[in-house]
Amino acid sequence: MTMNLFDSMGGIEARQEQLGPGATVLHRHAVPEETALLSALRDVVAGAPFRHMVTPGGFHMSVAVTNCGSLGWVTDRTGYRYDPIDPVSGLPWPRMPEVFLALATRAAARAGFGEYVPDACLINRYVTGARVSLHQDKNEQDFDQPIVSVSLGIPAVFLFGGLNRADRAIRVKLTHGDVVVWGGAARLRYHGILPIKEDHHPLVGDHRINLTFRKAA
């Protein structure tokens, strides 16, 4: 099902696409804030630089990550967890910028999840060839809280599977400004990102940034 809406976004088409119960793509929803988001991102990264974390299996992730908010998602040889402290700096993660929080809350509401106040924002940076294999997001305490995912920069193909790893996955192209909100019946669906194709975005450069908001605690 696809609904076409024309927002008052300076002629930019804001298409809202349902990927099944609980999962919505708000195409181009973050475009009006692109400059403010990228400027806030630079401040976050100045305090907590991108790094390639190690998975419990001992592999370096091809995606570089950092966090902001009171909790940050981390992985190392001992497993995945949310931690209030950046293990690289030994300091709390940078505060979540107001423009991040406002966007996440607004997008969640638009998709039917009211009063969403995330406490964690995982930031992923993809260069050409980087990928994320199929996984579930299940390190959070309360699966009634949705996840809001913002794509910036060069495009990606998002794999969106079912509740079992072997379920067939659909492919959704995510481009600059697209916001995916998922919760409810979709909250534990497997998902991933196919290897990123070489491209260039005028504002972001040769990579893709993904902001994933969660209510972790």
Site for ligand MD6 in 157-176 (CB under 6 A): 158
Closer to ligand MD6 by Cβ: residue 92 or 139: 139
Listed residue (199, 179, 12) closest to 103, CA to CA: 179
User: In 10 A of CB 31, how many CB atoms?
Assistant: 20
Partner that binds at residue 67, options Fe ion, ligand MD6, none, CB closer than 5 to 8 Å by kind? none
Minimum CB separation of residue 179 from Fe ion in Å reads 14
Minimum CB separation of residue 10 from ligand MD6 in Å reads 25
DSSP letter for 102, please.
H
Minimum CB separation of residue 97 from ligand MD6 in Å reads 19
User: In 10 A of CB 15, how many CB atoms?
Assistant: 17
Within 8 A by CB and 6+ apart from 64, the residues are 50, 51, 52, 124, 125
The residue behind tokens 């699966």 is 143
Concatenated DSSP letters of 116-127: ---SEEEEEEE-
Minimum CB separation of residue 26 from Fe ion in Å reads 17
Helix, strand, coil abundance in the chain, percent, nearest 5: 15, 35, 50
Instruction: Provide the binding-site residues for Fe ion, judged by CB under 5 A.
Output: 137
Closer to ligand MD6 by Cβ: residue 116 or 158: 158
Dist CA 132 CA 176 (whole Å): 18
Closer to ligand MD6 by Cβ: residue 92 or 175: 175
- Asked if 180 interacts with ligand MD6 (CB under 6 A), we say yes
What is the distance in angstroms between the CA of the first residue and the CA of the last residue of the chain? 33
- Asked if 24 interacts with ligand MD6 (CB under 6 A), we say no
- Asked if 196 interacts with ligand MD6 (CB under 6 A), we say no
- Radius of gyration for the alpha carbons in the chain, expressed in angstroms and rounded: 16
Partner that binds at residue 147, options ligand MD6, Fe ion, none, CB closer than 5 to 8 Å by kind? ligand MD6
- Asked if 137 interacts with ligand MD6 (CB under 6 A), we say yes
Closer to ligand MD6 by Cβ: residue 99 or 172: 172
- Is 173 in a helix, a strand, or coil? strand
- Residues near ligand MD6 (CB under 6 A) are 124, 132, 137, 147, 149, 158, 180, 182, 191, 193, 210, 212
